[in-house]
Amino acid sequence: MEKAWLDGLAAVVAEAGRLVEDIARQGFDTQFKNPDERRDPVTTADLACDAFLKERLLALLPEAGWLSEETKDRPDRLTKRWVWIVDPIDGTREFVRRIPEYAVSVALARDGEPVAGAVVNPATGDRFLGAVGVGAWRNGKPITCSRDRGERLIILGSRSEMNRGEFEPFADVLDVRAVGSIAYKLALVAAGEADGTFSLGPKHEWDIAAGVALVLAAGGQVHDGAGLPFRFNRPNTLTHGILAATREAHADLALLLERHAPRRA
């Protein structure tokens, strides 16, 4: 993949991040996807960012299909070789609470494989970009998904999964830190800020595709709950389980998960 083309992707996603922050400053409306549960908020910022990304990304690669959390799904994406996989705001709960841990997340898949990913944290301006087999960058500087291991491995965990006690089995062996947005957690792992991140629960393709591309592009390892590489642009976009880690920590974390939470597949 050519660097000029990647720069185009980075510019669009950075602009989307600025759009989200402008809306955050001006004010936004919040609704719940299921009003009875009040668990999954969606705001006018999610929808505006979705519309912006759709226009700009499809202009960048007109032959690509489109899969986004905030666009009604269309089966024609399944016939496309290239597909944009987009979460306009990952971590909307954090966005609504003004916790600066949410992200614009954009991936490009080819024949189901993650090819490129861009993740921007609009609140901090932190920008991550990667192309598998080419390289990965944070704010324009090369990154590697690698770090020296400390006494205990540092894991980035979901705030809600921690509140539900899902990380308790690992409390004695891992140093688990709460961070919102799985896309942002994966980006931080790609940059070597932690040894890994994992989730045992379901995620949609748009939550993880960009982060998976970043981790792979930065030389880390990532697999699903069955220990398999991710394939994207599937008819059912729900995935089950994810472990992403540095090359130094991945094998030990996979073993630990196997012991505490055996694979279902």
The residues of the shown chain that bind ligand IPD, judged by CB under 6 A, are 40, 69, 87, 90-93, 158, 181-182, 203, 207
The amino acid occupying position 137 is W
Minimum CB separation of residue 140 from ligand IPD in Å reads 25
Strands 153-157 and 174-178: parallel
> Amino acid identity, residue 116?
A
- Residue whose CB is less far from ligand IPD, 32 or 149: 32
| Site map (CB under 5 A) of Ca ion, residues 23-62, x = contact | ----------------------------------------
Where do we find the tokens 């226009």? 55
Rounded alpha-carbon distances, angstroms, from residue 229 to 121, 137, 202, 242, 259: 26, 22, 16, 10, 20
Closest CB 142 distance from ligand IPD, rounded Å? 26
- 49 token code pair: 């960012």
DSSP state of 84: E
| Helices marked H in 61-122 | 92-97
Q: How many residues bind Ca ion (CB under 5 A)?
A: 5
Cβ(175)–Cβ(154) under 8 Å?
yes
196: nearest Cα among 210, 182, 207, 209: 182
Q: Contact letters (x/-) for Ca ion, 192-231, by CB under 5 A?
A: ---------------x------------------------
For residue 79, count other CB atoms closer than 10 A to its CB.
8
Q: Minimum distance between the CB of residue 157 and ligand IPD, rounded to whole angstroms? A: 10
Is 126 one of the binding residues for Ca ion (CB under 5 A)?
A: no
CB of 87 to ligand IPD, least distance (A): 5
Residue 181's binding partner out of ligand IPD, Ca ion, none, with CB under 5 to 8 Å set by partner kind: ligand IPD
Enclosing H/E stretch for 33: none
Radius of gyration, CA atoms only, the chain: 17
Residue 126 interacts, among ligand IPD, Ca ion, none and using kind-specific CB cut-offs from 5 to 8 Å, with none
Q: Which does 40 bind (CB under 5 to 8 A by kind): Ca ion, ligand IPD, none?
A: ligand IPD
Least distance between Ca ion and beta carbon 87 (Å):
4
Evaluate the CA torsion angle 47, 66, 117, 15 in order and state its sign: negative
Q: Which one, 9 or 86, has the nearer CB to ligand IPD?
A: 86
Q: Which is nearer to ligand IPD, 88 or 220 (CB)?
A: 88
Measure the CA–CA gap between 154 and 176, rounded to whole angstroms.
Answer: 6
CB closer to ligand IPD out of 97 and 260: 97
Residue written as tokens 């089950």? 240
Residues that bind Ca ion (CB under 5 A): 69, 87, 89-90, 207
